[in-house]
Amino acid sequence: MIQSARDICSSRGLRLTPVRAKVLELLTQSHVPLGAYDVLDQLALAGFRSQPPVAYRALDFLVVNGLAHRIEKLNAFVACTHADSGHSPVFMICGHCQRVAETTAQTKRSVFDQTAREIGFDIRNTVIELEGLCSECQQDKA
């Protein structure tokens, strides 16, 4: 995923700095979304400056450029699994273990697009967050 991010940044004339690459690596390796202060703590352990703006700037760059997403419900971040395509993400968030699965929405054929067309609204970005229980947590509760 890091090499893919490097290729994307190179093709767009962007710079994937060591801090940005490390933050993306942390997000990629985590099994749950990471908050900004979690990222900051892990950056400090990896020898990077431990000032909040360092983490926030790196996260902002990754989100703005489609390499990561902010999960609003959790106020946390995940690496984008479809960074090479413009897409409308759908996040399935386990309410028990906080793991997040990402898939994409087909907004051009969705009920959202139909309703938007009816009222003359042009959808530019869609992010859907669904909360439930992942299969592992469902089995644990059984």
Q: Are residues 92 and 75 in the same domain?
A: no
Q: Are residues 70 and 100 in the same domain?
A: no
Residue where a domain stops, chosen among 28, 53, 79: 79
pLDDT tens sequence for the chain (142 residues) = 788 899 999 999 999 999 999 999 999 999 899 999 999 999 999 998 778 889 999 999 999 999 999 999 999 999 998 777 667 788 999 999 999 998 876 655 678 888 898 999 988 777 889 999 999 999 887 6
Tally Cβ neighbours within 10 Å of residue 13: 6
Q: Are residues 75 and 92 in the same domain?
A: no
Whichever domain contains 9, its CATH number is 1.10.10.10
Residue 96 structural domain: 88-141
Q: What is the pTM of this model?
A: 0.83
d(C-alpha 134, C-alpha 113), whole Å: 28
| Burial (0-12, 13-18, 19+ Cβ within 10 Å), 39 | buried
What amino acid occupies position 77? F
